[in-house]
Protein backbone atom coordinates (compact mmCIF):
# COMPACT_ATOMS: atom_id res chain seq x y z
CA UNK A 1 0.00 0.00 0.00
CA UNK A 2 1.37 3.36 -0.93
CA UNK A 3 1.54 6.21 1.52
CA UNK A 4 -1.57 7.84 0.06
CA UNK A 5 -3.54 9.75 2.64
CA UNK A 6 -6.58 7.97 4.04
CA UNK A 7 -8.57 10.89 5.37
CA UNK A 8 -11.23 9.76 7.84
CA UNK A 9 -11.56 12.92 9.90
CA UNK A 10 -14.31 14.68 7.99
CA UNK A 11 -16.10 15.82 11.16
CA UNK A 12 -13.01 17.92 11.92
CA UNK A 13 -12.83 19.42 8.46
CA UNK A 14 -13.32 18.36 4.85
CA UNK A 15 -11.38 18.71 1.63
CA UNK A 16 -12.49 21.28 -0.91
CA UNK A 17 -14.69 19.73 -3.60
CA UNK A 18 -13.14 20.30 -7.07
CA UNK A 19 -16.40 21.89 -8.32
CA UNK A 20 -16.34 24.27 -5.36
CA UNK A 21 -12.80 25.39 -6.19
CA UNK A 22 -13.83 25.96 -9.82
CA UNK A 23 -16.82 28.06 -8.75
CA UNK A 24 -14.82 30.32 -6.45
CA UNK A 25 -11.71 30.83 -8.64
CA UNK A 26 -13.07 33.68 -10.82
CA UNK A 27 -13.82 35.62 -7.64
CA UNK A 28 -10.26 35.18 -6.42
CA UNK A 29 -8.90 36.33 -9.78
CA UNK A 30 -10.67 38.85 -12.02
CA UNK A 31 -14.04 39.30 -10.33
CA UNK A 32 -12.86 41.21 -7.32
CA UNK A 33 -15.60 43.85 -7.27
CA UNK A 34 -17.18 44.93 -4.00
CA UNK A 35 -20.83 43.83 -4.21
CA UNK A 36 -21.91 47.13 -2.63
CA UNK A 37 -20.47 49.23 -5.48
CA UNK A 38 -22.70 50.73 -8.17
CA UNK A 39 -20.93 49.89 -11.44
CA UNK A 40 -21.70 46.82 -13.52
CA UNK A 41 -18.36 45.19 -12.70
CA UNK A 42 -19.46 44.86 -9.07
CA UNK A 43 -22.85 43.66 -10.18
CA UNK A 44 -21.30 40.31 -11.06
CA UNK A 45 -20.25 39.85 -7.44
CA UNK A 46 -23.70 40.88 -6.21
CA UNK A 47 -25.36 38.38 -8.53
CA UNK A 48 -22.97 35.68 -7.32
CA UNK A 49 -23.96 36.44 -3.71
CA UNK A 50 -27.63 36.19 -4.60
CA UNK A 51 -27.13 32.87 -6.32
CA UNK A 52 -25.15 31.46 -3.40
CA UNK A 53 -27.81 32.60 -0.94
CA UNK A 54 -30.44 30.76 -2.97
CA UNK A 55 -28.27 27.63 -3.09
CA UNK A 56 -27.81 27.60 0.69
CA UNK A 57 -31.52 28.29 1.22
CA UNK A 58 -32.46 25.48 -1.17
CA UNK A 59 -30.40 22.91 0.74
CA UNK A 60 -32.16 23.94 3.96
CA UNK A 61 -35.67 24.31 2.57
CA UNK A 62 -35.53 27.98 3.63
CA UNK A 63 -36.07 31.37 1.98
CA UNK A 64 -32.97 33.23 0.70
CA UNK A 65 -33.72 36.23 2.99
CA UNK A 66 -33.45 33.87 5.95
CA UNK A 67 -29.74 33.20 5.28
CA UNK A 68 -27.02 35.39 6.84
CA UNK A 69 -23.43 34.69 5.79
CA UNK A 70 -20.86 34.64 8.60
CA UNK A 71 -17.21 33.68 8.95
CA UNK A 72 -17.68 30.24 10.52
CA UNK A 73 -19.92 27.94 12.52
CA UNK A 74 -18.71 29.41 15.79
CA UNK A 75 -19.75 32.92 14.72
CA UNK A 76 -23.14 31.63 13.60
CA UNK A 77 -23.72 29.97 16.97
CA UNK A 78 -22.65 33.05 18.93
CA UNK A 79 -24.72 35.38 16.75
CA UNK A 80 -27.86 33.31 17.28
CA UNK A 81 -27.39 32.94 21.03
CA UNK A 82 -26.57 36.60 21.72
CA UNK A 83 -29.31 37.74 19.37
CA UNK A 84 -32.01 35.77 21.09
CA UNK A 85 -30.80 36.70 24.59
CA UNK A 86 -30.51 40.42 23.83
CA UNK A 87 -34.01 40.40 22.40
CA UNK A 88 -35.40 39.21 25.76
CA UNK A 89 -33.08 40.77 28.34
CA UNK A 90 -35.48 40.18 31.23
CA UNK A 91 -35.31 36.39 30.87
CA UNK A 92 -32.24 34.89 32.52
CA UNK A 93 -32.44 31.15 31.91
CA UNK A 94 -30.61 29.35 29.11
CA UNK A 95 -30.96 25.65 28.28
CA UNK A 96 -28.35 23.64 26.39
CA UNK A 97 -26.70 20.23 26.74
CA UNK A 98 -23.52 18.80 28.23
CA UNK A 99 -22.50 17.37 24.86
CA UNK A 100 -22.45 20.56 22.76
CA UNK A 101 -19.47 21.60 20.68
CA UNK A 102 -17.29 24.11 22.56
CA UNK A 103 -18.79 26.84 20.32
CA UNK A 104 -22.01 26.57 22.36
CA UNK A 105 -20.78 24.88 25.54
CA UNK A 106 -18.41 27.74 26.30
CA UNK A 107 -21.20 30.28 25.71
CA UNK A 108 -23.23 28.45 28.35
CA UNK A 109 -20.32 28.56 30.79
CA UNK A 110 -19.77 32.26 30.06
CA UNK A 111 -23.44 33.10 30.50
CA UNK A 112 -23.40 31.35 33.86
CA UNK A 113 -20.65 33.75 34.98
CA UNK A 114 -22.75 36.65 33.67
CA UNK A 115 -25.57 35.77 36.04
CA UNK A 116 -27.68 33.50 33.86
CA UNK A 117 -29.08 30.28 35.19
CA UNK A 118 -27.90 27.66 32.72
CA UNK A 119 -29.30 24.15 32.45
CA UNK A 120 -26.85 21.72 30.86
CA UNK A 121 -29.00 18.72 29.98
CA UNK A 122 -27.32 15.38 30.62
CA UNK A 123 -27.36 12.33 28.38
CA UNK A 124 -27.72 8.58 28.94
CA UNK A 125 -25.00 6.03 28.20
CA UNK A 126 -25.85 6.16 24.50
CA UNK A 127 -25.61 9.95 24.45
CA UNK A 128 -29.38 10.55 24.26
CA UNK A 129 -31.04 13.49 25.98
CA UNK A 130 -34.29 12.96 27.87
CA UNK A 131 -37.34 14.87 26.60
CA UNK A 132 -38.87 14.59 30.08
CA UNK A 133 -35.84 16.22 31.66
CA UNK A 134 -35.96 18.91 28.99
CA UNK A 135 -39.62 19.58 29.61
CA UNK A 136 -39.00 19.90 33.35
CA UNK A 137 -36.20 22.40 32.69
CA UNK A 138 -38.33 24.73 30.52
CA UNK A 139 -39.89 27.54 32.55
CA UNK A 140 -41.21 31.11 32.39
CA UNK A 141 -37.69 32.48 32.74
CA UNK A 142 -36.26 30.52 29.80
CA UNK A 143 -34.85 32.95 27.23
CA UNK A 144 -33.46 30.45 24.72
CA UNK A 145 -32.82 26.76 24.08
CA UNK A 146 -29.72 25.78 22.09
CA UNK A 147 -29.17 22.15 21.09
CA UNK A 148 -26.95 20.57 18.47
CA UNK A 149 -28.65 18.65 15.67
CA UNK A 150 -25.94 16.01 15.51
CA UNK A 151 -22.95 15.47 17.77
CA UNK A 152 -19.52 15.89 16.20
CA UNK A 153 -17.89 13.14 18.30
CA UNK A 154 -20.46 10.35 18.29
CA UNK A 155 -22.66 11.41 15.36
CA UNK A 156 -25.74 11.14 17.62
CA UNK A 157 -28.80 12.88 16.22
CA UNK A 158 -30.84 14.79 18.82
CA UNK A 159 -34.66 14.99 18.74
CA UNK A 160 -34.68 18.63 17.59
CA UNK A 161 -38.15 18.34 16.10
CA UNK A 162 -39.70 17.34 19.44
CA UNK A 163 -37.58 19.83 21.37
CA UNK A 164 -38.57 22.60 18.94
CA UNK A 165 -42.24 21.70 19.27
CA UNK A 166 -42.00 22.02 23.06
CA UNK A 167 -40.19 25.35 22.69
CA UNK A 168 -43.00 26.60 20.45
CA UNK A 169 -45.58 25.53 23.01
CA UNK A 170 -43.80 27.62 25.64
CA UNK A 171 -43.00 30.56 23.34
CA UNK A 172 -39.25 30.02 23.74
CA UNK A 173 -36.91 30.60 20.76
CA UNK A 174 -34.86 27.61 19.63
CA UNK A 175 -31.34 27.62 18.16
CA UNK A 176 -29.81 24.54 16.56
CA UNK A 177 -26.10 23.99 15.92
CA UNK A 178 -26.45 21.96 12.72
CA UNK A 179 -22.82 22.21 11.64
CA UNK A 180 -22.51 18.40 11.52
CA UNK A 181 -25.96 17.73 10.12
CA UNK A 182 -26.07 20.04 7.09
CA UNK A 183 -25.11 18.14 3.98
CA UNK A 184 -25.36 14.76 5.73
CA UNK A 185 -29.09 14.61 6.46
CA UNK A 186 -31.91 16.30 4.59
CA UNK A 187 -33.36 19.33 6.38
CA UNK A 188 -36.53 21.26 5.67
CA UNK A 189 -36.65 24.45 7.67
CA UNK A 190 -40.13 25.23 6.35
CA UNK A 191 -41.41 22.29 8.39
CA UNK A 192 -39.03 22.31 11.38
CA UNK A 193 -39.86 24.28 14.54
CA UNK A 194 -36.42 25.92 14.61
CA UNK A 195 -35.75 29.69 14.77
CA UNK A 196 -31.97 29.80 14.24
CA UNK A 197 -29.68 27.23 12.64
CA UNK A 198 -25.90 27.35 12.28
CA UNK A 199 -23.79 25.75 9.57
CA UNK A 200 -20.14 25.88 8.53
CA UNK A 201 -18.58 25.68 5.07
CA UNK A 202 -15.49 23.67 5.92
CA UNK A 203 -17.57 20.77 7.24
CA UNK A 204 -19.17 20.27 3.83
CA UNK A 205 -16.37 20.61 1.29
CA UNK A 206 -16.28 24.42 1.13
CA UNK A 207 -13.21 26.29 2.44
CA UNK A 208 -12.55 27.38 6.01
CA UNK A 209 -13.65 30.87 6.95
CA UNK A 210 -17.26 30.79 5.79
CA UNK A 211 -20.44 29.92 7.65
CA UNK A 212 -24.09 30.80 7.56
CA UNK A 213 -26.88 31.37 10.02
CA UNK A 214 -30.48 30.62 9.16
CA UNK A 215 -32.78 33.13 10.90
CA UNK A 216 -36.47 32.36 10.60
CA UNK A 217 -38.43 35.27 9.20
CA UNK A 218 -39.76 37.26 12.15
CA UNK A 219 -37.32 35.78 14.69
CA UNK A 220 -35.65 38.47 16.81
CA UNK A 221 -32.22 39.47 15.54
CA UNK A 222 -29.56 41.76 16.99
CA UNK A 223 -26.46 42.17 14.82
CA UNK A 224 -23.21 41.01 16.32
CA UNK A 225 -21.12 43.15 13.95
CA UNK A 226 -22.36 46.66 13.24
CA UNK A 227 -21.16 48.87 10.41
CA UNK A 228 -22.15 48.73 6.74
CA UNK A 229 -25.49 47.51 5.44
CA UNK A 230 -24.30 44.12 4.23
CA UNK A 231 -26.57 41.14 4.84
CA UNK A 232 -29.52 43.53 5.27
CA UNK A 233 -27.83 45.10 8.25
CA UNK A 234 -27.55 41.76 10.01
CA UNK A 235 -23.80 41.27 9.60
CA UNK A 236 -21.60 44.20 8.65
CA UNK A 237 -18.33 43.77 6.81
CA UNK A 238 -17.58 43.42 3.09
CA UNK A 239 -18.77 40.01 1.99
CA UNK A 240 -16.12 37.31 1.44
CA UNK A 241 -17.41 36.82 -2.10
CA UNK A 242 -15.18 33.85 -3.11
CA UNK A 243 -16.04 32.01 0.11
CA UNK A 244 -19.74 32.77 -0.16
CA UNK A 245 -19.76 31.51 -3.75
CA UNK A 246 -17.94 28.40 -2.54
CA UNK A 247 -20.49 27.76 0.21
CA UNK A 248 -23.30 28.10 -2.32
CA UNK A 249 -21.62 25.63 -4.67
CA UNK A 250 -20.92 23.22 -1.79
CA UNK A 251 -24.58 23.35 -0.72
CA UNK A 252 -25.76 22.69 -4.28
CA UNK A 253 -23.40 19.69 -4.47
CA UNK A 254 -24.50 18.45 -1.06
CA UNK A 255 -28.14 18.61 -2.17
CA UNK A 256 -27.23 16.54 -5.21
CA UNK A 257 -25.41 13.92 -3.11
CA UNK A 258 -27.58 13.83 0.01
CA UNK A 259 -28.87 10.32 -0.85
CA UNK A 260 -25.30 8.98 -1.16
CA UNK A 261 -24.76 9.81 2.50
CA UNK A 262 -27.54 7.47 3.45
CA UNK A 263 -26.54 4.71 1.04
CA UNK A 264 -22.87 4.60 0.01
CA UNK A 265 -21.35 6.44 2.96
CA UNK A 266 -23.53 4.64 5.50
CA UNK A 267 -22.71 1.25 3.98
CA UNK A 268 -18.96 1.89 4.20
CA UNK A 269 -19.24 3.15 7.79
CA UNK A 270 -21.32 0.12 8.77
CA UNK A 271 -18.83 -2.19 7.14
CA UNK A 272 -15.90 -0.61 8.95
CA UNK A 273 -17.79 -0.90 12.24
CA UNK A 274 -18.70 -4.54 11.65
CA UNK A 275 -15.18 -5.56 10.69
CA UNK A 276 -13.52 -3.76 13.60
CA UNK A 277 -15.95 -5.15 16.18
CA UNK A 278 -15.42 -8.65 14.78
CA UNK A 279 -11.63 -8.45 14.61
CA UNK A 280 -10.90 -6.63 17.88
CA UNK A 281 -12.06 -8.11 21.20
CA UNK A 282 -13.23 -5.72 23.91
CA UNK A 283 -14.21 -3.00 21.50
CA UNK A 284 -17.46 -1.06 21.77
CA UNK A 285 -19.25 1.56 19.70
CA UNK A 286 -19.98 4.85 21.47
CA UNK A 287 -23.26 6.62 20.78
CA UNK A 288 -26.68 5.57 19.60
CA UNK A 289 -26.38 3.03 16.78
CA UNK A 290 -30.07 3.61 15.94
CA UNK A 291 -29.83 7.35 15.54
CA UNK A 292 -26.49 8.48 14.24
CA UNK A 293 -25.03 10.41 11.33
CA UNK A 294 -24.33 7.96 8.50
CA UNK A 295 -20.65 8.95 8.28
CA UNK A 296 -19.52 8.73 11.91
CA UNK A 297 -18.05 5.83 13.86
CA UNK A 298 -16.84 6.43 17.41
CA UNK A 299 -15.32 3.24 18.77
CA UNK A 300 -13.42 2.40 21.95
CA UNK A 301 -10.75 -0.22 22.47
CA UNK A 302 -10.21 -1.25 26.05
CA UNK A 303 -6.73 -0.88 27.61
CA UNK A 304 -5.24 1.33 24.93
CA UNK A 305 -4.72 5.03 24.57
CA UNK A 306 -6.41 6.97 21.79
CA UNK A 307 -3.33 9.07 21.15
CA UNK A 308 -1.12 6.02 20.75
CA UNK A 309 -3.57 4.57 18.22
CA UNK A 310 -3.65 7.86 16.32
CA UNK A 311 0.14 8.03 16.15
CA UNK A 312 0.38 4.51 14.77
CA UNK A 313 -2.43 5.16 12.29
CA UNK A 314 -0.66 8.34 11.23
CA UNK A 315 2.43 6.24 10.40
CA UNK A 316 0.19 4.36 7.97
CA UNK A 317 -1.18 7.57 6.46
CA UNK A 318 -4.56 7.25 8.19
CA UNK A 319 -6.12 10.40 9.68
CA UNK A 320 -8.69 9.96 12.45
CA UNK A 321 -9.30 11.65 15.76
CA UNK A 322 -9.45 10.63 19.39
CA UNK A 323 -11.91 11.57 22.07
CA UNK A 324 -9.45 11.74 24.92
CA UNK A 325 -7.09 14.57 25.57
CA UNK A 326 -3.93 13.21 27.14
CA UNK A 327 -1.88 15.54 24.96
CA UNK A 328 -3.52 18.56 26.55
CA UNK A 329 -2.03 17.50 29.87
CA UNK A 330 -5.04 15.80 31.39
CA UNK A 331 -6.16 12.20 31.43
CA UNK A 332 -9.78 13.30 31.08
CA UNK A 333 -11.62 11.75 28.17
CA UNK A 334 -13.77 14.03 26.00
CA UNK A 335 -16.60 15.89 27.72
CA UNK A 336 -19.02 14.03 25.46
CA UNK A 337 -17.89 10.53 26.47
CA UNK A 338 -17.68 11.65 30.11
CA UNK A 339 -21.26 12.94 29.96
CA UNK A 340 -22.24 9.51 28.63
CA UNK A 341 -20.50 7.78 31.54
CA UNK A 342 -18.28 5.67 29.28
CA UNK A 343 -15.95 3.76 31.66
CA UNK A 344 -12.45 5.19 31.92
CA UNK A 345 -10.71 2.12 30.51
CA UNK A 346 -12.83 2.43 27.36
CA UNK A 347 -13.16 6.19 27.05
CA UNK A 348 -9.41 6.55 27.05
CA UNK A 349 -9.09 4.41 23.94
CA UNK A 350 -11.76 6.00 21.81
CA UNK A 351 -11.24 6.80 18.14
CA UNK A 352 -13.54 8.66 15.81
CA UNK A 353 -13.61 7.81 12.14
CA UNK A 354 -15.66 10.20 10.03
CA UNK A 355 -16.18 9.42 6.36
CA UNK A 356 -17.26 11.54 3.42
CA UNK A 357 -18.70 10.90 -0.01
CA UNK A 358 -15.09 10.78 -1.25
CA UNK A 359 -14.22 7.82 1.01
CA UNK A 360 -13.48 4.66 -0.97
CA UNK A 361 -13.93 0.98 -0.26
CA UNK A 362 -10.15 0.51 -0.61
CA UNK A 363 -9.60 3.01 2.18
CA UNK A 364 -12.06 1.23 4.45
CA UNK A 365 -10.40 -2.11 3.63
CA UNK A 366 -7.01 -0.69 4.52
CA UNK A 367 -8.20 0.60 7.90
CA UNK A 368 -10.10 -2.62 8.67
CA UNK A 369 -6.93 -4.61 7.96
CA UNK A 370 -4.50 -2.30 9.73
CA UNK A 371 -6.25 -1.37 12.94
CA UNK A 372 -6.48 -4.85 14.53
CA UNK A 373 -2.68 -5.18 14.25
CA UNK A 374 -2.21 -1.73 15.76
CA UNK A 375 -4.45 -2.56 18.72
CA UNK A 376 -2.70 -5.92 19.25
CA UNK A 377 0.69 -4.25 19.43
CA UNK A 378 -0.52 -1.55 21.80
CA UNK A 379 -2.30 -3.95 24.09
CA UNK A 380 0.84 -6.02 24.41
CA UNK A 381 2.55 -3.04 26.05
CA UNK A 382 -0.50 -1.42 27.67
CA UNK A 383 -0.05 0.03 31.16
CA UNK A 384 -3.83 -0.08 31.66
CA UNK A 385 -4.35 -3.83 31.64
CA UNK A 386 -4.46 -3.92 35.42
CA UNK A 387 -6.80 -0.99 35.88
CA UNK A 388 -10.36 -1.72 37.03
CA UNK A 389 -13.18 -0.56 34.69
CA UNK A 390 -14.27 2.10 37.12
CA UNK A 391 -10.84 3.64 37.49
CA UNK A 392 -10.99 7.42 37.42
CA UNK A 393 -8.56 10.01 36.15
CA UNK A 394 -5.89 10.26 38.80
CA UNK A 395 -6.06 6.54 39.70
CA UNK A 396 -3.21 6.01 37.34
CA UNK A 397 -0.59 4.41 39.50
CA UNK A 398 -0.23 1.70 36.89
CA UNK A 399 0.01 4.18 34.07
CA UNK A 400 3.28 4.95 32.39
CA UNK A 401 2.06 7.42 29.81
CA UNK A 402 3.88 10.71 29.58
CA UNK A 403 1.04 13.05 30.47
CA UNK A 404 1.40 15.50 33.32
CA UNK A 405 -0.75 13.44 35.70
CA UNK A 406 2.39 11.33 36.18
Q: Report the nearest approach of ligand PLP to the CB of residue 152 (Å).
A: 4
Residues 179-198 that bind ligand PLP (CB under 6 A): 179-180
322 binds ligand PLP (CB under 6 A): no
Task: Choose, by CB under 6 A, the member of 101, 175, 292, 352 that binds ligand PLP.
Answer: 101
Give the list of residues 6+ apart from residue 397 with CB closer than 8 angstroms, or none.
none
Q: Collapsing DSSP states into helix, strand and coil, what is residue 236?
A: coil
Neighbours of 201 (CB within 10 A): 34
Q: Minimum Å distance from CB 75 to ligand PLP? A: 7
Q: How many helices (H) and strands (E) does the chain have?
A: 12, 13
Our finding on whether 148 is near ligand PLP (CB under 6 A) is: yes
Q: Does 81 bind ligand PLP (CB under 6 A)?
A: no
| Stretch of 51-59, 162-170, 177-185, 369-377 lying at the interface with ligand PLP (CB under 6 A) | 177-185
326 has catalytic annotation: yes
Taking CB atoms, the residue at the shortest distance from ligand PLP is 73
- CB neighbours (10 Å) of residue 352? 25
The tally of CA atoms less than 13 A away on the side-chain side of residue 312 is 17
Distance, CA of 358 to CA of 263 (rounded, Å): 13
Catalytic residue among 72, 167, 326, 396: 326
Helix axes 102-113, 73-87, angle to 10 degrees: 30
Q: How far is the CB of 99 from ligand PLP (least distance, A)?
A: 10
Q: Could you tell me which stretch among 55-63, 67-75, 241-249, 317-325 binds ligand PLP (CB under 6 A)?
A: 67-75
* DSSP H or E segment with residue 70: strand 67-70
118, 96 Cβ separation under 8 angstroms: yes
CB burial readout 125-145, b (16+ within 10 A) else e: ebbbbeeeebeebbeeebbbb
The smaller minimum CB distance to ligand PLP, of residues 84 and 213, is found at 213
Q: Is 235 in the site for ligand PLP (CB under 6 A)?
A: no
Q: Should residue 176 be labelled a site residue for ligand PLP when binding is judged by CB under 6 A?
A: no
**Residue among 35 and 183 whose Cβ is closer to ligand PLP:** 183
* Active-site residue set: 326
Q: Which residues bind ligand PLP (CB under 6 A)?
A: 72-74, 101, 103, 148, 152, 177, 179-180, 200, 202-203, 211
Amino acid sequence: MSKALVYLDNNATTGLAPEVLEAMLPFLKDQYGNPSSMYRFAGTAQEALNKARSQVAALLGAQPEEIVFTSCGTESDATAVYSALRARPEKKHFITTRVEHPAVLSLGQYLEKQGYTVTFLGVDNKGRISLDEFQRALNKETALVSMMYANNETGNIHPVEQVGALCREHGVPFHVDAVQAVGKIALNMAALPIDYLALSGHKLHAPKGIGALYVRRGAPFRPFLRGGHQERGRRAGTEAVPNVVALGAACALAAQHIEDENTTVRALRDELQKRLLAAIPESVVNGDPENRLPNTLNISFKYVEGEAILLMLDQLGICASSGSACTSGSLEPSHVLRAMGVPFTYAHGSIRFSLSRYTTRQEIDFVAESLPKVIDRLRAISPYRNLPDDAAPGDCAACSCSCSNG
